[in-house]
């Protein structure tokens, strides 16, 4: 773990006490992959390997990392069957489902404003 200045602006900005609603939301779904993952889970649970095939441009590490964070934030549920080979499913929690209007709006906006977009 790298040390960091405790009162840098970065730290202040990450301090929950200083967070406005918008920053809070951005923190939960920001970054390159979280919205895509959540959106892919909108209809059905998906296994790790399925997500990996869909998010073809991500690496396994990123996927695992993002899923872990989403689980920590209570947006996604991880359901691991205790079998070999492993079988792990991810699906939206109730809290995660409350994000669907946001995610749909974002996806729709992107579809309308990016002429070159393709599904993902």
Footprint of its own copies (CB under 8 A): 9, 12-13, 16-26, 28, 30-32, 35-36, 39, 57, 59, 95, 98-99, 101-103, 105-114, 116-120
| Pure H helices in 1-120 | 9-14, 21-29, 34-40, 48-54, 60-72, 94-97, 100-113
The nearest distance, CB 10 to its own copies, in angstroms, is 9
Tokens of 119: 């599904």
Contacts of 18 (CB under 8 A, 6+ apart): 12
From the list DNA, its own copies, none, which binds 79 (C-beta under 5 to 8 Å, kind-based)? none
The nearest distance, CB 17 to its own copies, in angstroms, is 6
Name the residue nearer to DNA (CB basis): 58 or 75. 58
Nearest to 69 by CA among 10, 27, 112, 9: 27
Could you tell me if residue 74 is left (phi over 0), alpha (psi between -120 and 50 degrees) or otherwise beta?
left
Name the residue nearer to its own copies (CB basis): 43 or 83. 43
Binding mask 51-90 for DNA (x = CB under 7 A): ------xxxxxx-x-xxx---------x-x---xxxxx--
């Amino acid at each position: 773990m790298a040390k960091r200045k405790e009162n840098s602006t970065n730290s202040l900005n990450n301090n929950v006490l200083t967070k406005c609603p918008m920053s809070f939301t951005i923190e939960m779904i920001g970054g390159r992959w979280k919205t895509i993952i959540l959106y892919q889970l909108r209809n059905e649970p998906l296994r790790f390997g399925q997500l990996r095939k869909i998010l073809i441009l991500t690496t396994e590490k990123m996927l695992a990392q993002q899923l872990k964070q989403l689980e920590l934030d209570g947006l996604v549920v991880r359901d691991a069957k205790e079998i070999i080979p492993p079988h792990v499913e991810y699906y939206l929690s109730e809290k995660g489902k409350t994000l669907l209007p946001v995610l749909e709006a974002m996806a729709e906006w992107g579809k309308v404003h990016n002429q070159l977009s393709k599904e993902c």
